Amino acid sequence: MTITITAFERSPDGGKGLARDTRIRWALEEVGQPYEVRLVSFRAMKEPAHLALHPFGQIPTYEEGDLALFETGAIVFHIAETHAGLLPDEDHARARAITWMFAALNTVEPPILDLVIAKFVERDKPWYAERLPLVEDRIRDRLAPLSARLGDADWLDGPFSAGDLMMVSVLLRLRASGMLNDYPNLAAYVARGEARPAYKRAFDAQLAVNTGKLPSS
């Protein structure tokens, strides 16, 4: 059955891979599943046809036959559950990998998003300079224990899993801030994720869309 995801017609990052369709592309590449991409404009995202797929009018969405999903966590989980390669077979290892997916989305990503919002939306506020270090501290409160847990392992819990895919995707948004440099094992962890052939294919595919060099699928 054909899988179709949605992505920005033109991503505000110009193809740096930070828009969330990249995680879905990466998961699909990891499991060797071909997919098509429907590009949507910011206006189209808020129109009824897209709102029927995504109640909040965002990307990415995922369609496969009569199944329509939104939320990258749910989409990556679905891909991992229905294809081999992203979740271990053993019950407890599988539950732990899923736990890391939730940790990435619920515990690590929120303060990182707070920083992104602060930098893009709050820069002109009189309290910006005072608040910024507080936001950065909340990120360090997550990075320090994550770094301690990862230690010198390649991945968070045994072989690469959907938990790593999600955690690397979340950490990538910190690159511009330079904050990862204070945690060399996390910087190396992110680089290991980016070096995976599946990530590279996903990145190149979204870049091609944003530079107009290739068709979208």
Residue nearest to ligand GTB (CB): 58
Q: How far is the CB of 100 from ligand GTB (least distance, A)?
A: 16
Which CB atom, from 111 or from 147, has the smaller least distance to ligand GTB? 111
- DSSP collapsed to 3 states, the chain: CCEEEEEECCCCCCCCCCCCHHHHHHHHHHCCCCCEEEEECHHHHCCHHHHCCCCCCCCCEEEECCEEEECHHHHHHHHHHHCCCCCCCCHHHHHHHHHHHHHHHHHHHHHHHHHHHHHHHCCCCCCHHHHHHHHHHHHHHHHHHHHHHHCCCCCCCCCCCHHHHHHHHHHHHHHHHCHHHHCHHHHHHHHHHHHCHHHHHHHHHHHHHHHCCCCCC
Which CB atom, from 72 or from 147, has the smaller least distance to ligand GTB? 72
Q: How far is the CB of 11 from ligand GTB (least distance, A)?
A: 5
Which CB atom, from 72 or from 161, has the smaller least distance to ligand GTB? 72
Binding site for ligand GTB (CB under 6 A): 11-13, 18-20, 45, 57-59, 71-72
Which CB atom, from 45 or from 146, has the smaller least distance to ligand GTB? 45
Q: How far is the CB of 151 from ligand GTB (least distance, A)?
A: 28
Q: How far is the CB of 95 from ligand GTB (least distance, A)?
A: 21
Which CB atom, from 13 or from 158, has the smaller least distance to ligand GTB? 13
Q: How far is the CB of 172 from ligand GTB (least distance, A)?
A: 10
